[in-house]
Amino acid sequence: MTDKEIKLLTGDKVLQELGIAYAGDSIVEMTPELFKQIGESIDKRKKEINATFPKLVAECPYETRLAVTAQVFKAIIDHATEGGSFRHLIYDRLGFDTNAYVPLYNSGGMTISNEFNLSKKDDENASD
């Protein structure tokens, strides 16, 4: 199959059956070894995050931690009230770039984005 023929099949189930992914002007073969390497890379990054972030937080002055936490709480409440995707929460509301996706996902950000919804808040649950 030529590159031109493969481009015509982009998004088609045939690409999945061929074990390739379309990436712009080229294709990438998704082999079991590549999946393994991707998984190992993600695991390594998670370990680095889990080892580094608590130390960085502990080194921050109290007032800085308080201000950052207050801003995060506000962003979460705004997100829960107004809605939006996980990416909208971390990029637009919290102001991070793409390198924040894995650590914020790993720390439960996707759960907050998907499950925390105040737009349908019951009055009886508003006691706090």
- Cα angle for residues 111, 112, 114 (degrees, 5° grid): 65
| Beta pairing class for 20-23 and 26-29 | antiparallel
The whole model's pTM is what?
0.59
> Of 113, 104, 98, 111, which is closest to residue 49 (Cα–Cα)?
104
* Cβ–Cβ under 8 Å, residues 12 and 21: no
Same domain, 125 and 68: yes
Decide if 54 is inside a domain: no
The residue-averaged pLDDT of 39-60 equals 88
Same domain, 72 and 120: yes
- Structural domain range at position 93: 61-128
pLDDT digits (tens, 9 = 90+) for 73-127: 999 999 888 888 899 999 999 999 888 888 899 888 898 888 876 666 544 455 4
Decide if 41 is inside a domain: no
pLDDT digits (tens, 9 = 90+) for 8-40: 444 445 555 555 555 556 666 777 888 888 888
* Cβ–Cβ under 8 Å, residues 123 and 109: no
Same domain, 65 and 126: yes
Decide if 35 is inside a domain: no
Domain count, the chain: 2
The answer, yes or no, to whether residue 3 has pLDDT greater than 60, is: no
